[in-house]
Amino acid sequence: MPYARVCLVTTCAQNCNSLPLGPVNPSERKSWNNILIHTGTRGSIEIDSSSQPGFISDYNVVNNRFARNETFITLAQWRALGYDPRSILNPGLATLFVNPTAANYHLRTESPAINAGVAVTGVVNDLDGNPRPQGLRYDIGADEALIP
């Protein structure tokens, strides 16, 4: 089942690359509308050459650090491989979320993740059960901001 998520990983938590990114069919492996932030030294996405065919990644919030074949690269180098052309560089947790220190990962009203995503088949509600989209476009992450 498709879903959007917040994958905030600290140095003592589970790595993002151990979470499923979608169906097993390589032509359907997509990472869209996710917040992929590692607060330690790992990359937002880590992939090896054998996993690249069919992998699509875009409309995410990411750090300026990725890994390909265990070698770290920047977002510019990652984009040169064809990934994440419309993704947003992480502006900082306090800019994205209401209160990240208290684990409130709802989007702030001025978060750059609002209206920055894309429609994903099968993702019709956010983590709280609110319908998506609420604005002109889908929000990036597991939360759809409810802005009056």
Residue 121 lies in a domain: no
Residue 132 lies in a domain: no
Residue 136 lies in a domain: no
pLDDT at 27: 52
Q: Is the peptide bond before 133 cis (omega within 30 degrees of 0)?
A: yes
Compute the distance between CA of residue 68 and CA of residue 92 in angstroms, rounded to an integer: 24
Which structural domain, as residue segments, surrounds residue 46?
Answer: 6-107
Residue 23 lies in a domain: yes
Count: domains in the chain: 1
Compute the distance between CA of residue 15 and CA of residue 19 in angstroms, rounded to an integer: 8
Residue 130 lies in a domain: no
- Is 0.85 surpassed by the pTM of this model? no
Highest mean pLDDT among 1-10, 73-82, 98-107, 127-136: 73-82
pLDDT at 15: 35
Residue 137 lies in a domain: no
Residue 131 lies in a domain: no
Residue 84: pLDDT band (50, 70, 90) is very high
Residue 99 lies in a domain: yes
Summarised one tens digit per residue, pLDDT across range 113-130 is 999 999 988 888 888 999
